[in-house]
Amino acid sequence: MTLSLLRRGASSSSRRLAPSLRRCKSTATADYDDGFEEDLRYSGMSGGKLIHEALVECGVDTVFGYSGGANLPILDQFSRQNKSPIRFVMNRSEQCCGHAAEGYARASGRPGVVLTTSGPGLTNIITPLQDARGDSTPLIALSGQVPTAAVGTDAFQECLAVDLTRPCTKWSYQVRSVEEVRSVVHEAFRVATSGKPGPVHLDLPKDVMTAVLRGAGLPLPLQPPPAPIDHAALHRVAELLAIAKKPIFYVGQGANGAHLELRALAEACNVPVTTTVHAMGTFDEHHPNSLHMLGMHGAAYANFAIQESDLIVAIGSRFDDRTTGVLSKYAPEAKKAHTEGRGGLIHFDIEPSQFGRVINPTVAVSGDCKMSLAALLPIVAQYPPKHPREAWLKRAHELKAEFPFQYSPPSDKRLKTQSAIEAIYNGLKHREKDVVVATGVGNHQMMSCQFFRWTVPRQFITSGSLGTMGFGLPAAIGAQVACPDKIVVLIDGDGSFNMTLNDLGTIKEHQLPIKIAIMNDHRQQMVHVWQKLFFDSRLMATDNVNPDYVALAQAYGIESYCAKTTDDLPFVIDKFVNAKGPVLIDFRCVPDICLPMVAPGKGLDEMFMPGSIDINAGAEKQQPKMEGLAPS
């Protein structure tokens, strides 16, 4: 009976099942006798109660959400009267709920969970879902829906939720019977966390959530075995590492769970390491082999090293355009070494579909990075390097000394975003391993990458692929909830902060001790710069009219201060670092350009360096000519 219920309406676009649920349908019921016996414990529970119990079984301790008529049968399960072990955090909009769940996931490594109502509750989380999809963040989105009989009638607060979310999720599914509720929730967590992590959406009609399970539900889905390790590919990797004269590890967030193996391998092979924005801290940036972050606004020394390397080993990264520059100019030495059989480009990735999407690798290694690196370590011992690495490492150190991150401070003691961020880092340096930083999007985001040193994985939480302004504040909330013993810092721009500043109410409600630093230059400065450089200084819609942030924070009962000059820094940094509860600092900054910068159409080694562009200079100073399209 339960299987026939699951089949009903199977031709509908909302009935697209995940692979292990399809296996569950086609496997003999006798194989699941134990599962059915266990399921009898859930007989008599409503759909909403089954959702809650499945979340508990999947290890959920926090749900971020917002109330509405269509999700009340589920929301009720989190009440004090029901003694739920799950903490429910209500953000001030559904978009904030989604970004908070992302922040929770990125800081903890566990899936974030968000609960919204139907209609606008669902449409408001489209941006977080796409953000999570682009940045490979495991997210479970639960949305209420009108009763199944009303679906397709343009009922109040109805929308085609599955159709809207399918392009921005790994799996989107509408539950149509109470019998399948528990197995579908378990499958959602499997899909979100297996392979390349990402978001999953479950649409939950109100009548299914109020229906009561009679007897046993569907059995839980099968868990596929882990993919085998390709030892032949690993031996080829070891051979190339031994042959190459100038290898480099280019590390993405897929290696965040493999930081110990990465360090051991880098030291065993004596290879320099550079990371993407989401992998900063996966390799301790104080390590002598670290070349810090590469890319569009990354370290010049990392970009130069990539271009000079004869063997680029990409570990858990996807050759994003922000890290490669224009592809025709990317990795010339590695491409040459590939043709000559003495190097090339190696790609480690958990998703085989990533191979060849951007770069055709010399060797592709499919599988979990932690397992692959652990298996590679004993193999590289069998292939000692044929060339000493001292000269290559010396070259890397020379590049670091010659092209450091730097900026020109104003002569009148006014603040720049870089000087404020540098002061924050120095104030927290004594506990740098305990710090988690969330950001919005813009200059402050990239300058945070540059003027902090990152030492542990999951220390920097930002919107990378989608570049979502407004991400920072709710993401910091999620990170603080996930890591209550960590020091969570929000470094935000005024433009990004203005988009979600209403979530100060969530900080106040839960007394979250988040340290908020607003880099306030009264502009959307990064886009303002592009207008100057690419659109002949025709400035449009990039100036901000801001509130008094100190007064705004005080209105929420949050400690707050303002800094306007470098003379103010010792006082405000002391207050910022030592505040016991939430604190906000309004840093009034001089607008600046973020350099180095790899402009569109340029190679990684064709950067505009600090001092080459003075964005605050008058018309009499000629700026470099920018060609092509402005960055998107």
DSSP for 418-476 reads HHHHHHHHHHHGGGGGGEEEEE-SSHHHHHHHHHS---STT-EE---SS--TT-HHHHH
Peptide bond into 596 cis (omega under 30): yes
Q: Quick check: 328 and 345 in contact, CB under 8 A? A: no
Own/partner contacts of 230-237, CB < 8 Å, gap of 24 or more, are: 230/365, 230/366, 230/367, 231/375, 231/379, 233/363, 233/364, 233/365, 233/366, 234/365, 234/372, 234/375, 234/376, 234/379, 235/379, 236/363, 237/313, 237/346, 237/363, 237/365, 237/376, 237/379
Cβ–Cβ under 8 Å, residues 95 and 436: no
Residues 292-330: pLDDT tens digits?
A: 999 999 999 999 999 999 999 999 999 999 999 999 999
Task: Report d(CA 345, CA 337) in Å as an integer.
Answer: 9
Work out the percent of the chain whose per-residue pLDDT is above 90.
Answer: 84
Residue 619, pLDDT score = 62
What is the phi/psi pair of residue 350, to 5°? -75, -20
Length in residues, the chain = 632
| CATH class held by domain 41-213 | alpha beta
- What fold characterizes domain 417-588? Rossmann fold (3.40.50)
152: which 2 tokens?
A: 């397709």
Cβ pair 234, 367 in contact under 8 A: no
Taking the CA atoms of 409, 415, 421 and 424 in sequence, report the sign of the dihedral they define. Answer: positive
Per-residue pLDDT tens for 573-628?
A: 999 999 999 999 999 999 999 999 998 889 999 999 998 888 877 665 667 767 76
**What DSSP element (H or E) covers 87?**
strand 87-90
**Which of the residues in the chain have pLDDT under 50?**
1-14, 23-37
User: Which pTM was predicted?
Assistant: 0.94
Q: What is the dihedral of CA 33, 38, 43, 46, to 10 degrees?
A: -120
CB 470 within 8 A of CB 463: no
Domains 41-213 and 417-588 share a fold: yes
Query: pLDDT value at position 270?
Result: 95
Distance of CA 28 to the CA centre of its chain: 40
Q: What is the amino acid identity at position 145?
A: Q
**Measured distance CA(85)–CA(551) in Å, rounded:** 37
Contact 213, 45 (CB under 8 A): yes
Report the alpha-carbon distance of residue 77 to residue 70 in Å, rounded. 14
Angstrom distance (rounded) from CA 287 to CA 396 = 13
- State the residue for tokens 């607008």: 591
> Which pLDDT value is given to residue 631?
75
Class of the CATH domain delimited by 231-403: alpha beta
> Which of 193, 125, 198, 188 has the alpha carbon at shortest distance from 159?
125
Rounded Cα gap, residues 296 and 607, in angstroms: 8
Sheet of strand 62-65: strand arrangement:
87-90, 62-65, 112-116, 139-145, 199-205, 171-174
What does the pLDDT read at residue 154? 85
Amino acid at 193: T
Is residue 182 within a helix (H) or strand (E), and if so which, with residue range? helix 181-193
Strands (DSSP E) contained in 160-237 are 171-174, 199-205
pLDDT digits (tens, 9 = 90+) for 410-467: 989 999 999 999 999 999 999 999 999 999 999 999 999 999 999 999 999 999 999 9
Active centre residues (catalytic) = 94, 156-157, 206, 526
| The two three-digit tokens of residue 622, written as one number | 């000629």
Domain boundaries along the sequence of the chain: 41-213, 231-403, 417-588
Residues 561, 549: Cα–Cα separation, whole Å = 9
**What does the alpha-carbon distance between residue 432 and residue 377 come to, in Å, rounded to a whole number?**
29
Helix (H, G, I), strand (E, B) or coil at 250: strand
Q: Quick count: other Cβ atoms within 10 Å of Cβ 616?
A: 10
Beta bridge partners of 492: 518
Angle formed by the axes of helices 417-428 and 443-451, to 10°? 40
From CA 101, how far away is CA 32, in angstroms rounded? 34
Q: Residues 231-245, buried b or exposed e (16+ Cβ, 10 A)?
A: eebbbbbbbbbbbbb
Are the C-beta atoms of residues 9 and 176 closer than 8 Å to each other? Answer: yes
